[in-house]
Amino acid sequence: MKTYSMKCVAPTVAAILGLERPSAATEPAIEEIAADLRGSRRVAVLAPDALGIVPWCRWQDEMPFLKSLHARHSLLLESIMPSSTPMNFACMLTGAELAVHGIQTREMQFQCETLFDVIRRKGGQSGGVGHKGYSGDLLLARCADIPGVAEPGLAMTVADKIIELYCVNPPLFLIAQFGNVDTLFHKVGPSHPDVVPMLRELDGALSKVVRFLAARQVAVILLADHGQHDVPPSASKPGYGTHGTDCPDDRLVPCTWTS
């Protein structure tokens, strides 16, 4: 399957909206996505945190809605290094590497132009949504024009917050993090069967919000910021999940979109 850099996401969103890409972006738009969605007036990027190739290959049958989207459109993205959360959400917003965008932690300031800036310059507004205390709150909601902060725990609270935000003041661009996915993967490992109820809940939340957005002609791109790999149990410690390295399990994430 064709693999694109995470740095292509910002140029792709800009191409769909007919805007110039953020000034530090170096990669072209992903033409497969842009060709399908170009001309949409609004774009939403929805990111189940850490839903990379390991949990996707293992558990996609537990996510029938997401699987149905991938049956129509599917490609792989490669996270920037390190394969961690703030730097990759910042990459989605800028098209740039960490050394250029400067977001090492979620509380830091962008050192280059973001999609939020490009859209603001055109007189539009952007939304940033996530669970309280996560990057979706402390980076995305903090830097966007319209913040949406949901109570932690379930994906559905993020989905409902996105829907609420569109009902009040629909943004031209929205980016949302479903951070609970990463939290449970860290705890038990992305291949552990205990993640299945969480992934089913995520799939239900994505089904609700994507159908809502599609009915309002909002183009939707679904991807993860990075993956995770399993660390097997040892004599002294049960198994768990982690990421941040340059191995494919940490860096390769499936991406799909509506059209």
Binding residues for Zn ion, per CB under 5 A? Answer: 49-50, 85, 182, 225
Element (H, E) at 76: strand 75-78
State in angstroms the smallest separation of the CB of 85 from Zn ion.
Answer: 3
Q: What is the DSSP letter of 217?
A: T
**C-alpha span between 208 and 112 (Å, rounded):** 34
Kindly give the pairing relationship between strand 126-131 and strand 173-178. Answer: parallel
Kindly give the pairing relationship between strand 218-222 and strand 252-257. Answer: antiparallel
Query: What is the SS3 assignment for 150?
Result: strand
Nearer to Zn ion, 49 or 249 (CB): 49
Nearer to Zn ion, 173 or 185 (CB): 185
For residue 6 the two structure tokens come to 């995470």
State in angstroms the smallest separation of the CB of 217 from Zn ion.
Answer: 29
State in angstroms the smallest separation of the CB of 214 from Zn ion.
Answer: 25
State in angstroms the smallest separation of the CB of 60 from Zn ion.
Answer: 19
Nearer to Zn ion, 34 or 221 (CB): 221
Nearer to Zn ion, 183 or 207 (CB): 183
CB of 39 closer than 8 Å to CB of 176: no
Q: Which residue is nearest to Zn ion (CB)?
A: 85
